[in-house]
Structure 1
Amino acid sequence: MKIALVQMNCIVGDLDGNARKILKFYNKAKALGATLVCFPEMVLVGYPPRDLLDLPYFISEIETFTEEIAKKTDEVSLIFGSIAKNAQGVGAPLYNQAVWCERGKIITRISKRLLPSYDVFDETRYFEPGSFVPPIEFCGKKIGLTICEDIWNTSEIKSHRLYAVDPVEELKRAGADLILNLSASPYSKRKIHHRIQLLQRCAKKNAVDLLYVNQVGGNDELIFDGGSMFVSSTGKLLTLSPFFKENITLVDTEEKEGSSLAPLDEVALTYEALVLGLKDYVKKCGFKKVVLGLSGGVDSALVAALAVKALGPKNVIGILMSSRYTSRESIRDAVALAQNLKIKTKTISIDKIHRSFEAGFIKLFGKKKANTTEENIQARIRGNLLMALSNKEGHMVLTTGNKSELAVGYSTLYGDMAGGLAVISDLYKGQVYELCRCINRKKNIIPENILTKAPTAELKPNQKDQDTLPPYDQLDGILKLAIEDGLGVDEIIKKNFPRAVVIKVLNMIKRSEYKRRQLGPGLKVSGKAFGMGRRFPIASKYK
């Protein structure tokens, strides 16, 4: 039997466009000789649809399009992810479903049984868990249908199993010899490797062949990597689809020969993820061009390089906004970067605007000593100029703050935090340098001086980041343990970090929560990012 795994890039809520795309890929897969064509979880709707699911008319349209897709099938079976109403009169209003159709009709529907409600997932808010459905006999196989989380119930992921039932085990006991899993599993660092191992263990433990089809593309903060695969009942990875691109992979379920997996380059994967996430966010939001401030520093250099890769140099504009504190070195580096990237730039000095604010501050503050107020107003001037250009030209502003800075509040609200997308908000400072080095592997795009000079905001004379912050290697280590691993002061100190520094950093994280709540959406590439998957209170006394 030949099964086509179609990893498709859908747009949330674009039912008409997604339906047409499903049928286009379905016909392509048929032409390749597929017997069964399988699409990802919720591919008709787009994942995650969030509170669109609270709109009754949206749900009605989903059902209409589901039926229309089924009508356009022939003897080649089609399975795709959709949504259906819960007509039982009790429980959540909807089901997350896999729809199996052929010869113009819906043959069966399978509802997702395990509903994640952690990190970025919130499915119990909308969906009722499905009930067990026996395997479906098809072409001499007994196929068990599962949806995403249904295969993730194992104590090897967390310290304990999250759910009382294991859908794959139940399907195996009912005679299944092939498991199909429709998924919308977002990318994060090291998750691809972890996912492959999970599927291999699942297939081997249950002695079933396992076919997995994943969504691809960026939807708001989430980036889906694709990587659809076929794993044999012995746990051998037989087929692995490309990452971060649409693809049809035709799998012959009788072919059990495969090649070994090459080592995964996690830095390159993160780079690809950010490029795709940026590209899709800009285009799916209806923009064509982006604008960002070029400071001559490493953060704006990385964002500019990612934007050029995602959108092309003609669609990226860099703005140089020097002040009396901007060094010639920074200007030279920013110009060299722009030339290497072949992007258009505009230059404006903020000095006169800055001085006018300082004159106003004398009236407002009297003889009070200057502090970060006078520093931050420079960032706010720059933010206003970028937003004015966005307003006038219709370009999206990209912010350039990294996770290290945003974690401890080393950023200016309504200044460098102003913009439509926080591209590198989930990269620690050390990772920013790693990605820049990755970009420079083949050609020196980012000037070496940007990568070797000491980071500085240049908001006062001779300023360096380390005047205010711990060294970045130390800061990043503490932040990862606190944010991603959830460790407290005493546990982090045991990892050989100074007590005073740990306490200071954790207090800075807490005090900056209100700032991050006002940040634009950020692309998620770690296990725990600021944004939809991290829900901490702002007004809180817990330390």
Structure 2
Amino acid sequence: MTALTVCLAQLDFTVGAIHENTSKILATIREQSAEHDIIVFPELAITGYPPEDLLLRDDMQQAVDNAVEQISAAASETVVIVGHPHAIGEQRFNSLSVLHRGECLHRYHKQRLPNYGVFDEQRYFIPGHESVVFEWRGQRIGLLICEDLWHPDPLAKLAQEHIDWVLSINASPYQMDKHEQRLGVLRQRVAESGKPIVYLNNCGGQDELIFDGHSLVLNGQGELVAELGHCEPSHATLTIEGDIISASAMAHHASESSLAEVYDALVLSVRDYVNKNGFKGVVLGLSGGIDSALTLAIATDALGADRVRAVMMPFRYTSQMSRDDAAEQANTLGVHYDVVPIEPMFNAFMQQLQPLFGDAGVDTTEENLQSRCRGVLLMALSNKLHSLVLTTGNKSEMAVGYATLYGDMCGGFAPLKDVPKLLVFELAKLRNQRSACIPPRVIERPPSAELAPDQVDEDSLPPYGDLDRILALYVEQDWSALEIINAGFAEEDVKRVLRLVDLNEYKRRQAAVGPKVTPRNFGKDRRYPITSHYRYEIERQNASEK
């Protein structure tokens, strides 16, 4: 049996950029052909993943077909395996093609189409039903695409074809502990089949999804031979002879902690969202609090200090500590920093509104007006500087509506949208371990929106330790109020939190997009109606049974 050298191209592709993606593929072929027998690219590499309703356009499919022809013609000295949509009449498949010297040697159609969580492939594709084995220089390679590996049957059928190893191309989105999940699934498939698996993943940010790369290679004993970098586009070389696999030095990668992986995923998501959407940089409100401090660190790591602008917008309730801490962090990171007091704007609004408000007392209206003054300033800077406003709210706040529409929710991307409050603190500590940039007392002091005298978040919310656990059970695991109460949480807290979650769906529908890192985010993962009485009916029923 002849040894094969295989190049794994764990690259960052842009959705809809057919020409750009094809150029990247062609450049890789030129650079890697001389040293490799096979070059492999991820699932739907030509279109980027997920292309969503772009797939319904005939002109895009024609562009994809032209790209496949170009790639096939370029694969003169090597075999190229690449993922792309393929149409046969009115039928559309999620496919991969094995290309060489202007010909398509094999074409495989994905058999298992995910239709849960963030996936809706059944809207666009129909499943394939046939196994495909690619034989090259004496080695028989079984071909699969992503979800196929999460089910036993596709590989079980391949194993009956006397394959030597399995190649799976993937666009598997990141979430916390996803690496361990993938590794567990792959080891299960190896145990069932006895075959080595080469698992190539996509790498890059796409709206609310993060593709973390972290491609894996397992031998026939289920041992990890190689893993590529987390959130790092890269190439790696494998030498394969039967079930003996060796990897180039660049393919070996020591996994970081789960916490570090979350932080690096957020950095990748900001970098790709800003760059792929053509913004010159970002601007954000820096309050002296923990959320904006972490957002500023992520943005600076993603884009560099010269593309980040932070604005402190103090009001009469803004403490000197907050002003000092914001200035210190901005100076440490070297970003452009401005201080713009909002008191004159607030007073002007109140003067105009006073005849309308009459004798109505002070309430949250005045608090929200402060936030909306800040939103106006940030959006004006965004327009003038052609920069994207980053919102700084976290998942805990977005869940219970602890955010102001057209105020602190103003912006185009929300890096912490799926990051619970306690995780915000852990990520801030992690970032300071790399290099100190967040003043310690920002992490240590009780969180406050500083919209009223001596205000702290826990005046109106349960302690974040309880809040985050209640939210995880309700939002991510679909537990009922009764189940959560029986788990040991105070009945009053549970009912209040669940009511706030349900009431504030209308706010989340108007919130900026943000990257998914938890098992279920507020976005494609969780599609609840705004108008819904489901929980109220359950509560009435439970009350009547008591």
Specify the TM-score bucket, using the shorter chain as the normaliser: over 0.9
1:295 aligned partner: 287
Q: Number of paired residues?
A: 527
* 1:210-231 alpha-carbon deviations (Å, 9 max, x no partner): 1111000111111111111211
Mapping of residues 151-230 of structure 1, within 5 Å = 151-153=149-151, 166-230=153-217
Q: 1:286 aligns with which of 236, 255, 278?
A: 278
Equivalent AA in structure 2 for residue 174 of structure 1: E
Identical columns (%): 41
Note if contact 2:213-2:232 (Cα within 8 Å) is conserved in structure 1: yes
CA shift for structure 1 position 531: 1.2
SS at match of 1:441: helix
1:157 aligned partner: none
In 2, distance between residues paired with 1:263 and 1:99? 31
CA shift for structure 1 position 361: 2.6
2:88 aligned partner: 86
In 2, distance between residues paired with 1:30 and 1:229? 22
Is 2:331 aligned against 1:339?
yes
Q: Tell which deviates more after alignment, 133-142 or 449-458.
A: 133-142
CA shift for structure 1 position 392: 1.2
Q: Tell which deviates more after alignment, 125-134 or 468-477.
A: 125-134
In 1, distance between residues paired with 2:448 and 2:233? 40
1:321 aligned partner: 313
Q: Tell which deviates more after alignment, 55-64 or 302-311.
A: 55-64
1:25 aligned partner: 28
Note if contact 2:228-2:236 (Cα within 8 Å) is conserved in structure 1: yes
CA shift for structure 1 position 389: 0.7
Note if contact 1:40-1:183 (Cα within 8 Å) is conserved in structure 2: yes
Q: 1:66 aligns with which of 65, 68, 72?
A: 68
CA shift for structure 1 position 262: 5.5
1:129 aligned partner: 127
Mapping of residues 266-281 of structure 1, within 5 Å = 266-281=258-273
* 1:272-317 alpha-carbon deviations (Å, 9 max, x no partner): 0000010000000001210000100000000000000000001100
Note if contact 1:81-1:182 (Cα within 8 Å) is conserved in structure 2: yes
Equivalent AA in structure 2 for residue 355 of structure 1: N
CA shift for structure 1 position 29: 2.4
SS at match of 2:329: helix
Is 2:394 aligned against 1:394?
no
2:414 aligned partner: 422
Equivalent AA in structure 2 for residue 452 of structure 1: E
Mapping of residues 527-538 of structure 1, within 5 Å = 527-538=519-530
In 2, distance between residues paired with 1:197 and 1:294? 41
1:49 aligned partner: 51
CA shift for structure 1 position 77: 0.5
SS at match of 2:39: strand
In 1, distance between residues paired with 2:281 and 2:434? 26
* 1:204-260 alpha-carbon deviations (Å, 9 max, x no partner): 211111111100011111111111121111111111111111111111123446899
In 2, distance between residues paired with 1:418 and 1:510? 21
In 2, distance between residues paired with 1:3 and 1:263? 22
What residue ranges of structure 2 are gaps of 5+ in the alignment?
536-546
In 1, distance between residues paired with 2:255 and 2:76? 41
Equivalent AA in structure 1 for residue 403 of structure 2: S
Is 2:432 aligned against 1:440?
yes
In 1, distance between residues paired with 2:230 and 2:32? 19
* 1:174-209 alpha-carbon deviations (Å, 9 max, x no partner): 222211101000110000111012111111211111
In 1, distance between residues paired with 2:314 and 2:343? 8
In 2, distance between residues paired with 1:372 and 1:460? 9
Note if contact 2:207-2:273 (Cα within 8 Å) is conserved in structure 1: yes
In 2, distance between residues paired with 1:533 and 1:213? 24
Note if contact 2:239-2:246 (Cα within 8 Å) is conserved in structure 1: no
Note if contact 2:238-2:245 (Cα within 8 Å) is conserved in structure 1: no
CA shift for structure 1 position 86: 2.9
In 2, distance between residues paired with 1:94 and 1:323? 57
Equivalent AA in structure 2 for residue 197 of structure 1: G
Equivalent AA in structure 1 for residue 103 of structure 2: K
In 2, distance between residues paired with 1:25 and 1:263? 26
Note if contact 2:210-2:269 (Cα within 8 Å) is conserved in structure 1: yes
Q: Tell which deviates more after alignment, 137-146 or 187-196.
A: 137-146
In 2, distance between residues paired with 1:68 and 1:335? 53
In 1, distance between residues paired with 2:365 and 2:92? 51
* 1:89-123 alpha-carbon deviations (Å, 9 max, x no partner): 5xxx4111101101122112111110001111110
Q: Tell which deviates more after alignment, 410-419 or 220-229.
A: 220-229
Note if contact 1:430-1:476 (Cα within 8 Å) is conserved in structure 2: yes
In 2, distance between residues paired with 1:211 and 1:269? 22
Q: 2:232 aligns with which of 242, 245, 252?
A: 245
SS at match of 2:383: helix
Note if contact 1:134-1:174 (Cα within 8 Å) is conserved in structure 2: no
Note if contact 1:144-1:179 (Cα within 8 Å) is conserved in structure 2: yes
* 1:418-461 alpha-carbon deviations (Å, 9 max, x no partner): 10101101111000010000011133210001011111111111
SS at match of 1:396: strand
In 1, distance between residues paired with 2:524 and 2:514? 9
In 2, distance between residues paired with 1:359 and 1:280? 43
Note if contact 2:203-2:231 (Cα within 8 Å) is conserved in structure 1: yes
Q: Using a 3 Å threshold, how does the CA distance of structure 1 residues 75 and 426 change in structure 2: closer, same or farther?
A: same
Note if contact 1:299-1:400 (Cα within 8 Å) is conserved in structure 2: yes
In 1, distance between residues paired with 2:289 and 2:135? 60
Mapping of residues 105-116 of structure 1, within 5 Å = 105-116=103-114
Note if contact 2:228-2:253 (Cα within 8 Å) is conserved in structure 1: no
In 1, distance between residues paired with 2:290 and 2:13? 33
Q: Tell which deviates more after alignment, 22-31 or 35-44.
A: 22-31
SS at match of 1:326: coil
In 1, distance between residues paired with 2:82 and 2:255? 31
Q: Tell which deviates more after alignment, 394-403 or 135-144.
A: 135-144
In 2, distance between residues paired with 1:284 and 1:443? 28
CA shift for structure 1 position 265: 0.4
Note if contact 1:135-1:175 (Cα within 8 Å) is conserved in structure 2: no
2:351 aligned partner: 359
CA shift for structure 1 position 58: 1.0
Note if contact 2:97-2:107 (Cα within 8 Å) is conserved in structure 1: yes
CA shift for structure 1 position 27: 2.5
CA shift for structure 1 position 404: 0.4
Equivalent AA in structure 2 for residue 238 of structure 1: V
Q: 2:6 aligns with which of 3, 7, 18?
A: 3
In 1, distance between residues paired with 2:503 and 2:193? 48
CA shift for structure 1 position 483: 1.2
CA shift for structure 1 position 352: 1.1
Note if contact 2:190-2:222 (Cα within 8 Å) is conserved in structure 1: yes
2:342 aligned partner: 350
In 2, distance between residues paired with 1:475 and 1:392? 39
CA shift for structure 1 position 481: 1.1
1:163 aligned partner: none
2:543 aligned partner: none
Equivalent AA in structure 2 for residue 138 of structure 1: W
CA shift for structure 1 position 374: 0.9
Mapping of residues 96-111 of structure 1, within 5 Å = 96-111=94-109
Equivalent AA in structure 1 for residue 92 of structure 2: L
Equivalent AA in structure 2 for residue 37 of structure 1: I
Mapping of residues 399-414 of structure 1, within 5 Å = 399-414=391-406
